[in-house]
């Protein structure tokens, strides 16, 4: 299934995409799509729903994050060898982990707001892995059994904050609006091989990133198993698995960074597309 939520902040409604790409309202079935909905039992219940009997949403409006109650927003750095090279960094001998703040989470087409004084905000298309059942010290062989589904993530990053401000990566990764997720959560049964997904990103119509999850250094199963040895993963936790080359920081002869008015479009095969417009600092765009 392709699960999603729509509506203004604080008034989101659950929905699913049918075979014709129509948005079907799930409000008569569940009050919201949350962490409990992502369990095997919850997903099995939703899979039994006859979408043909549900109301079609003709005016979706805002597409919200595809589920409520995200716990941890875990990210993996330098997980594509060619991206590590463009960053002038070696491929790490183990996965590099960092966190985005939960307050960075926004819908897939919501405004992206530059932090005050930002001069080096960058883009990163990534595969998101959403946990459906608790994972603690799980083996690589069973790791994907704990995954509810997959989604598109834009790991927006302020490189000055990340690299030049004497601290961990979190400074440049967790700013408000720096975590667009969606449009859908695509359940695991519809993604038989998460290591065979093409991905791309454009800024103002120019293609900067063309990649595939085939070239990940550390694959999804390994990441779930590895991370579960450092922290318990709970339903609703999301893992953003790294980006292929083509980020703004790596452009030649000079880096290119986002500015107000820029438009990002990005997507992953079978998981949908995102579109965000970049804005100068404006707290009303964050708090609405």
Task: Give the pLDDT score at 91.
Answer: 85
Do residues 104 and 145 both lie within one domain? yes
106 close to 74: Cβ distance less than 8 angstroms: no
* pLDDT over 80 at 288, yes or no: no
221 close to 227: Cβ distance less than 8 angstroms: no
Number of domains composing the chain: 2
In the predicted model, what is the mean pLDDT of residues 85-101?
Answer: 90
Domain that holds residue 4: 1-68
Do residues 20 and 157 both lie within one domain? no
Do residues 32 and 170 both lie within one domain? no
Q: Enumerate the β-bridge partners of residue 131.
A: 147
Task: Give the pLDDT score at 84.
Answer: 82
- Which phi and psi (to 5°) does residue 161 adopt? -65, -40
Do residues 17 and 121 both lie within one domain? no
Do residues 204 and 265 both lie within one domain? yes
Share of the chain above pLDDT 70, in %: 100
The structure tokens 């059994």 sit at 145
The answer to whether the Cα torsion of 202, 208, 212, 216 is positive or negative is: negative
CATH of the domain at 160: 3.90.850.10
Q: Among candidates 208, 224, 228, which has minimal Cα distance to 216?
A: 224
Task: Give the pLDDT score at 85.
Answer: 83
Helix/strand/coil for 48: coil
- Alpha helix (H) residue ranges in the chain: 40-47, 81-86, 159, 170-173, 220-227, 283-287
For 23, residues 6+ apart whose C-beta sits below 8 A from its C-beta are 4, 6, 15, 16, 17, 56, 57, 60
What does the block give as tokens for 67? 């589920």
Q: What is the mean pLDDT of the chain?
A: 96
pTM: 0.96
Q: Where are the beta strands (DSSP E) in 46-146?
A: 63-64, 73-77, 96-100, 105-106, 112-113, 121-122, 125-131
The structure tokens 């960053």 sit at 87
Do residues 263 and 283 both lie within one domain? yes
176 close to 103: Cβ distance less than 8 angstroms: yes
Do residues 104 and 206 both lie within one domain? yes
The pLDDT tens digits of the residues spanning 11-40 come to: 999 999 999 999 999 999 999 999 999 999
Q: Enumerate the β-bridge partners of residue 266.
A: 201, 274
């Amino acid at each position: 299934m392709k699960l999603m939520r729509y509506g203004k902040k604080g008034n989101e409604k659950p929905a699913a995409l049918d075979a014709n790409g129509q948005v079907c309202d799930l409000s008569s079935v569940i009050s919201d799509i949350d962490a409990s909905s992502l369990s095997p039992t919850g997903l099995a219940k939703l899979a039994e729903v006859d979408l043909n009997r549900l109301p079609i949403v003709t005016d979706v409006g805002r597409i919200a994050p595809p589920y409520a109650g995200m716990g941890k927003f875990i990210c993996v750095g330098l997980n594509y060898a060619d991206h590590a090279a463009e960053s002038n960094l070696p491929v790490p001998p183990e996965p590099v982990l960092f966190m985005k703040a939960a307050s960075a989470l926004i819908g897939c087409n919501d405004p992206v707001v530059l932090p005050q004084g930002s001069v080096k905000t960058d883009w990163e298309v990534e595969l998101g892995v959403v946990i459906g059942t608790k994972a603690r010290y799980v083996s690589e062989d069973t790791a994907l059994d704990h995954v509810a589904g997959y989604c598109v993530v834009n790991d927006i990053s302020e490189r000055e904050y990340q690299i030049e401000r004497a601290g961990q990566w979190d400074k440049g990764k967790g700013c408000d609006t720096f975590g667009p997720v969606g449009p859908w959560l695509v359940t695991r049964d519809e993604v038989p091989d998460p290591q065979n997904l093409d991905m791309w990103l454009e800024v103002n119509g120019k293609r900067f990133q063309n990649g595939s999850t085939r070239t990940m250094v550390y694959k999804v199963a390994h990441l779930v198993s590895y991370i579960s040895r450092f922290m318990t993963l709970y339903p609703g936790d999301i893992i953003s698995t790294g980006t292929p080359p083509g980020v703004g920081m790596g452009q030649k002869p000079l880096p290119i960074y986002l500015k107000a008015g820029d438009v990002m479009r990005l997507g992953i095969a079978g998981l949908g597309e995102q579109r965000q417009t970049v804005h100068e600092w404006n707290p009303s765009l964050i708090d609405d």
